[in-house]
């Protein structure tokens, strides 16, 4: 009888130990499956980010080539229009308004294209960082646009591509405010937190009450932000003004 009870106790203990090992094995298997799924998600996200980055780089390359070609062609038009204007005045004639308009418009186009080219080529050399945002703000003020700048949170190092994107967002937003906000005040705000860098550029001008037509500047901003896994919001306020808000994932740079 004692032997039977001993064997029964042995069997119960064996079942308990087997159940414990089974539970541990099931738990380890679940952890393994979760780790595999996590790695698969990270690999997929990395592929998507790499595809977006390559798409942005290719579009920038095409933009550089187009701008080089257009700058040359428009420069030729400007020179020819200038020569025609000079010859007309030399012969005692007044240049036609159309010719003067062509000369002026081509000059403006060349200046704008060269400015854009300068921005595109600075990207190759590392571009601008957050330390250059005050320069953008000062430039906006000198152009007659009252602009304030504030930093919130504890300033820390963030990845260089995040800095460059934040700089470009501020640059494009201030350019748009200068063109469209009219008589307005612009507030530029950069906020640091543990995992994110937020850039807000907000004006109180009248501007347009309609959502913006996606031009190349806005499309470029959105592509830059999205390529980093961030979000961009660009929209008019409820009553007046316009807000550009970019949220960029920003783990601490090593």
Measured in whole angstroms, the distance separating CA 73 from the mean position of its chain's CA atoms is 30
Domain match, 237 and 183 both: yes
pLDDT above 80: residue 243: yes
Domain boundary (125, 148, 168) is at 125
Domain boundary (110, 125, 140) is at 125
Q: Which of 36-45, 49-58, 79-88, 243-252 has the highest mean pLDDT?
A: 243-252
Domain boundary (101, 125, 149) is at 125
Per-residue burial over 5-43, b if 16 or more Cβ lie within 10 Å, else e, is eeeeeeeeeeeeeeeeeeeeeeeeeeeeeeeeeeeeeee
Domain match, 87 and 201 both: no
Q: At what angle do helices 133-142 and 160-180 cross, to 10 degrees?
A: 10
Average pLDDT in the chain:
77
Number of separate domains in the chain: 2
Per-residue burial over 64-98, b if 16 or more Cβ lie within 10 Å, else e, is beebeeebeebbebbeebeebbeeeeeeeeebeee
Closest CA to 182 of 112, 235, 241: 241
Domain match, 111 and 132 both: no
Rounded Cα gap, residues 41 and 134, in angstroms: 39
pLDDT of 9: 66
pLDDT of 190: 96
Domain match, 245 and 169 both: yes
Measured in whole angstroms, the distance separating CA 234 from the mean position of its chain's CA atoms is 12
- The larger pLDDT score, comparing residue 227 to residue 253, is at 227
CATH code of the domain in which 137 resides: 3.30.565.10
Domain match, 144 and 60 both: no
- The larger pLDDT score, comparing residue 182 to residue 241, is at 241
pLDDT of 62: 72
Closest CA to 227 of 150, 175, 162: 162
Rounded Cα gap, residues 52 and 240, in angstroms: 34
pLDDT of 141: 86
Domain region containing 116: 1-125
Domain match, 121 and 132 both: no
Domain match, 219 and 118 both: no
Query: Is-contact 163 126, C-beta < 8 A?
Result: no
Task: Please count the other Cβ atoms lying within 10 Å of the Cβ belonging to residue 53.
Answer: 15
pLDDT of 144: 81
Domain match, 27 and 97 both: yes
Domain match, 133 and 236 both: yes
- Please list, in sequence order, all residues whose beta carbon lies within 8 angstroms of the beta carbon of residue 206, skipping any fewer than 6 positions away: 181, 182, 184, 240
Q: What is the pLDDT of residues 77-132, one digit of tens each?
A: 777 888 888 888 888 888 888 778 887 777 777 776 666 666 555 555 445 678 88
Averaged pLDDT, 205-218: 58
Domain match, 224 and 245 both: yes
Domain match, 118 and 44 both: yes
Domain match, 117 and 147 both: no
């Amino acid at each position: 009888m004692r032997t039977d009870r001993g064997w029964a106790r042995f069997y119960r203990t064996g079942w308990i130990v087997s159940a414990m090992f089974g539970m541990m094995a099931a738990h380890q298997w679940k952890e393994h499956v979760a780790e595999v799924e996590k790695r698969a998600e990270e690999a997929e996200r990395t592929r998507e980010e790499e595809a977006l980055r390559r798409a942005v780089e290719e579009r920038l390359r095409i933009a550089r080539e187009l701008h080089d070609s257009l700058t040359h062609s428009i420069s030729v038009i400007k020179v020819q229009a200038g020569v025609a204007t000079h010859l007309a005045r030399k012969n005692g004639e007044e240049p036609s308004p159309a010719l003067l308009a062509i000369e002026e418009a081509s000059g403006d186009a060349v200046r704008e294209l060269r400015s854009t080219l300068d921005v595109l080529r600075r990207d190759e050399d590392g571009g601008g960082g957050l330390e250059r945002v005050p320069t953008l703000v000062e430039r906006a003020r000198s152009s007659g646009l009252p602009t304030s700048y504030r930093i919130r949170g504890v300033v820390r190092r963030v990845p260089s591509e995040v800095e460059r994107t934040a700089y470009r967002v501020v640059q494009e937003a201030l350019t748009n405010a200068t063109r469209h906000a009219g008589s307005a005040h612009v507030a530029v705000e950069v906020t640091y937190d543990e995992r994110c860098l937020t850039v807000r550029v907000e004006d109180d001008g009248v501007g347009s009450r309609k959502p913006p037509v996606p031009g190349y500047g806005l499309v470029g901003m959105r592509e830059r932000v999205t390529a980093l896994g961030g979000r961009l919001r660009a929209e008019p306020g409820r009553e007046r003004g316009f807000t550009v808000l970019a949220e960029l994932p920003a783990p601490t740079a090593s």
